[in-house]
Amino acid sequence: MHVLISGMAGFIGMHLAQALRARGHRITGFDNLSSITYAASLKEDRLKALGFTTIPKYGQRAEADGMSFIKLDLTDVPGLTSWMQAEHFDVVVNLAALAGVRLSTQRPDDYFHSNADGFFNLLEVLRTIKQSQRARLIFASSSSVYGDSNKVPFAEDDDSIVPVSVYAATKRINEILASTYALRFGIDATALRFFTVYGPWGRPDMAPFIFTKAMLAGLPIRLFNEGRLRRDFTYIDDIVEGLVRIVEGQGNTVRSPQHPYAVYNIGNGTPIELFDFVHELEQVAGVKAQLILEPMQPGDVHQTYADVRRLSTDYGFTPHTALHDGISRFYAWYRSYYLHA
């Protein structure tokens, strides 16, 4: 298949591109290489790890073995429209977005423009493509759409969810838009609610990176809500395996004009308290953490906890990587990339 991956220089995008290429698919990706959430140098290094020897200028294209990459922004309506209408894709995987709950509180306009306006542009392009040539759409949502729900585990059919951050609201908007476009315009759309993804090449604004960097530098770690937060940490390989199965249509689910939209949780199904997460890092790194207990942060939630029965039923897959194994692999990559050790 010819698969388009937006946000291909991102954490999940890079790993998905690797996995799909290894399975013989043709990959085209784009990314704006934004530095709003973290330095663009890491995104460029991810592209280099995929085999791209040069980073193209905006609007230009680079080639690697079995892959193409274009530097492009979802909010660039003329560029996105003319380029997508000129090519044929079997599947579009939209991973492009500004990520991060806390920063979205400080920069709501940037998050809405990138995540909501950008996704709307993509839906509009798909709508204008002849239905017989239209790609299936798979897009990243987030566990954050559940807000601070106390109905656990978080289930996809819970219609009482209330997002409590701007980032979460943009993801929920995407889900509502996609379900509407699916029903009105026949776009086959699947939303994937990812739960706290971690692993090699991960985002520097997330806990594994922040905690590891502080511990190795002898600096204290700030644990919000005095460490009484629980997260459903999900290793990157599990996220990618679920994505690959859905991209390739390996499930036993059948879409119809009456049911053109679906949503799935992809999470480990095992919430971990931050104290336990830090303890795993201490064991792997051989360093004792210094802790500072802080109050709850605006827009944060007390726990995330995925119900993955729908994914298991429809696609025969349940994420399974143990936290210790995932942390060990992340730490080995961290030392290799940042410490050259």
* Residues with catalytic roles: 167
Alpha carbons 93 and 7: distance in angstroms, whole number: 9
Tokens 């889900």 correspond to 175
**Largest alpha-carbon pair distance within the chain?**
59
Query: Looking at this protein, which amino acid is placed at residue 34?
Result: S
Alpha carbons 18 and 42: distance in angstroms, whole number: 16
Q: Which of 249, 251, 229, 221 is nearest to 304 (CA)?
A: 229
Contact 280, 324 (CB under 8 A): yes
Query: Rounded to a whole number, what is the distance in angstroms from the first to the last CA of the chain?
Result: 38
Q: Which of 301, 319, 299, 297 is nearest to 310 (CA)?
A: 319
Alpha carbons 160 and 146: distance in angstroms, whole number: 9
Alpha carbons 183 and 187: distance in angstroms, whole number: 7
Query: Looking at this protein, which amino acid is placed at residue 108?
Result: P
Q: Which of 165, 311, 326, 175 is nearest to 237 (CA)?
A: 326
Q: Which of 209, 251, 207 is nearest to 229 (CA)?
A: 207
- Say how many residues make up the chain: 341
